[in-house]
């Protein structure tokens, strides 16, 4: 065939998923577009009641549908997703930002048809959905975090009422939520107003504050209304702590199911935690659970504690094979740069925003490293001085995510030596920079004679 010969090409899009369907999800209206066994496109309109959601799944199964696409609309998709999943359908949850409707009047019918067409041609990318146990774990963690915030709000109100009473003990005790602080608060709420009697409730020798200062701080305006408010606030405080404890027991049940079986068909035994638990910490032995579930001790990663790790695992699960590489993982977390390329040149970087709890956990962990003396702390301070704290947090969070990914996927222990910088290389780079700066002003840097 000559070079100038023309060859016929078929530019039509191939149908990759013939037995597919798509659902436009709403709070009360579900619009379904699917292909039946004869290849005809059908429409189905339904409300959001549970019985009718089951009928949707049954209709799609009877029509031979194997794959279903649906957009992630608020929390309305969750019930339908689990019902479709229970019928054995492969559900693709799509981010609405990843597809747009055609230029026309926007309707629910056209939305589901357009979604169906894109899905049939294999042009939609599925969002990550964690396994059922991880979703259950995430629900409990979310509720516990809400209770923790509410408990903190009540504690702030306790501080406020103490200030109204002109009691300053909360400024002398580092943790009013601790054993000594709560004993003093309970004593005040029970009507004890004498500073000497109040101090007799605690072990003063264990506190750093001077006894005379403590006595002065407990002299205040013990009015009836203030004590009554404090009594009710302490009841609320205890209620939220008890509720947090109840969710921790539910979290422990899920973690027990997530524990792997050994070669003898047994699950590892987890030692009980000590009775004393500091504020906002888990009363269960979270570190041991996570160690067995992940197969590696993730708490050795600088900046990551057990609370951060369980937040991440509740979102990602412990199966890292869903992401082919660490770059894919960090891109999903929105921690990697997305360059804008035109004409073969990078003209900038796209700004992306995400509410991913795993991303927030890594970013919070990175932010705590500003005072760390290790390699990651050095990286944070160097980038913060050069490019600002916002970019430093994102860069260090990305490094933490890469370490997390490789440890969970490859079951390798944390090796901090791999993070140590080549100091000589950094020194040579800095000298070269200073020489270039000096040359701009016609100066020459010389090494000082020893």
Please tell me the distance from the alpha carbon of residue 433 to that of residue 429, in angstroms, as a whole number: 6
> Is 165 among the domain residues?
yes
Query: Per-residue pLDDT tens for 157-209?
Result: 999 999 999 999 888 888 888 888 999 999 999 999 999 999 999 888 888 88
> Is 430 among the domain residues?
no
Q: Which of 32-41, 146-155, 219-228 has the lowest mean pLDDT?
A: 32-41
Global pTM reads: 0.83
Which of residues 201, 233, 254 is at a domain's end? 254
Query: Per-residue pLDDT tens for 264-304?
Result: 778 888 888 776 777 888 999 999 999 999 999 999 999 99
Q: How confident is the model at residue 1 (pLDDT cuts 50, 70, 90)?
A: very low
Please count the structural domains in the chain. 3
Q: Which helix (H) or strand (E) holds 42?
A: strand 41-47
Query: Per-residue pLDDT tens for 388-428?
Result: 999 999 999 999 999 999 999 999 998 887 777 656 677 78
Average pLDDT, the chain: 88
Instruction: Residue 62: give the domain boundaries.
Output: 20-120
Please tell me the distance from the alpha carbon of residue 342 to that of residue 339, in angstroms, as a whole number: 10
Please tell me the distance from the alpha carbon of residue 274 to that of residue 285, in angstroms, as a whole number: 9
> Is 203 among the domain residues?
yes
Which of residues 80, 95, 120 is at a domain's end? 120
Mean pLDDT on 309-325: 92
**Do both 116 and 139 map to the same domain?**
no
Please tell me the distance from the alpha carbon of residue 378 to that of residue 376, in angstroms, as a whole number: 5
Q: Which of 2-11, 47-56, 74-83, 343-352 has the lowest mean pLDDT?
A: 2-11
**Do both 99 and 207 map to the same domain?**
no
Q: Is 283 exposed, middle or buried (0-12, 13-18, 19+ CB in 10 A)?
A: middle
- Per-residue confidence (pLDDT) for residue 9, from 0 to 100: 53
Cβ–Cβ under 8 Å, residues 70 and 81: yes
Q: How confident is the model at residue 66 (pLDDT cuts 50, 70, 90)?
A: very high
Which of 237, 250, 239 has its CA nearest to residue 142?
250
**Do both 82 and 146 map to the same domain?**
no
Pairing of strands 90-94, 67-71: parallel
CATH of the domain at 103: 3.30.420.10
- Per-residue confidence (pLDDT) for residue 449, from 0 to 100: 63
Q: How confident is the model at residue 236 (pLDDT cuts 50, 70, 90)?
A: very high
DSSP H helices in 259-354: 286-294, 306-316, 326-332
- Helices 306-316 and 286-294 cross at an angle (nearest 10°) of 40
Please tell me the distance from the alpha carbon of residue 162 to that of residue 188, in angstroms, as a whole number: 10
Which of 144, 142, 126, 141 has its CA nearest to residue 77?
126
**Do both 319 and 384 map to the same domain?**
yes
Which single residue is written with the structure tokens 């035994």? Answer: 269
**Do both 73 and 177 map to the same domain?**
no
- Tokens at 141, concatenated: 């963690």
**Do both 44 and 98 map to the same domain?**
yes
Which of residues 254, 285, 305 is at a domain's end? 254
CATH of the domain at 222: 1.10.287
């Amino acid at each position: 065939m000559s070079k100038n010969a023309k060859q016929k090409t078929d530019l039509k899009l191939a149908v990759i998923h013939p037995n597919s369907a798509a659902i436009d999800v709403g709070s009360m209206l579900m619009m379904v577009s699917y292909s039946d066994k004869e290849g005809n496109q059908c429409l189905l309109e339904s409300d959001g009641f549970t019985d009718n959601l089951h009928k949707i799944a049954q209709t799609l199964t009877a029509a031979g549908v194997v794959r279903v696409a649906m957009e992630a609309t608020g929390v309305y998709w969750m019930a339908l997703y689990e019902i479709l999943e229970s019928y054995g359908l492969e559900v693709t949850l799509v981010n609405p930002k990843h597809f747009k409707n055609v230029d026309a009047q926007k309707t629910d019918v056209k939305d589901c048809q357009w979604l169906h067409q894109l899905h049939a041609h294999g042009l939609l990318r599925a969002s990550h959905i964690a396994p059922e146990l991880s979703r259950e774990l995430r629900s409990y963690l979310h509720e516990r975090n809400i209770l923790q915030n509410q408990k903190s709000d009540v504690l702030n109100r306790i501080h406020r009422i103490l200030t109204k009473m002109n009691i300053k003990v909360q400024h002398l005790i580092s943790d009013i939520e601790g054993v000594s602080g709560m004993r003093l608060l309970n004593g005040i709420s029970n009507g004890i107003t004498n500073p000497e009697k109040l101090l007799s409730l605690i072990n003063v020798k264990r506190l750093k504050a001077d006894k005379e200062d403590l006595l002065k701080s407990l002299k205040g305006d013990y009015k009836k209304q203030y004590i009554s408010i404090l009594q009710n606030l302490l009841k609320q405080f205890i209620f939220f702590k008890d509720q947090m404890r109840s969710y921790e027991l539910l979290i422990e049940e899920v973690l027990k199911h997530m524990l792997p079986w050994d070669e003898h068909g047994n699950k590892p035994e987890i030692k009980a935690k000590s009775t004393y638990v500091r504020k906002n910490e888990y009363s269960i032995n979270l570190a041991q659970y996570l160690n067995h579930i992940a197969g590696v001790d993730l708490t050795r990663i600088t900046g990551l504690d057990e609370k951060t790790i369980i937040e991440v695992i509740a979102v990602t699960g412990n199966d890292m094979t869903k992401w082919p590489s660490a770059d894919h993982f960090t891109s999903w977390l929105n921690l990697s740069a997305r360059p804008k390329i035109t004409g073969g040149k990078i003209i900038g970087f796209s700004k992306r925003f995400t509410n991913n709890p795993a991303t927030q956990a890594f970013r919070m962990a990175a932010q705590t490293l500003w005072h760390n003396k290790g390699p990651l702390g050095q990286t944070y301070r160097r980038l913060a001085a050069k490019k600002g704290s916002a970019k430093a947090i994102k860069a260090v969070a990305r490094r933490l995510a890469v370490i997390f990914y490789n440890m969970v996927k490859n079951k390798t222990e944390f090796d901090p030596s791999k993070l140590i910088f080549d100091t000589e290389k950094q020194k040579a780079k800095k000298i070269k920079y200073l020489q270039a700066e000096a040359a701009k002003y016609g100066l020459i840097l010389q090494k000082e004679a020893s």
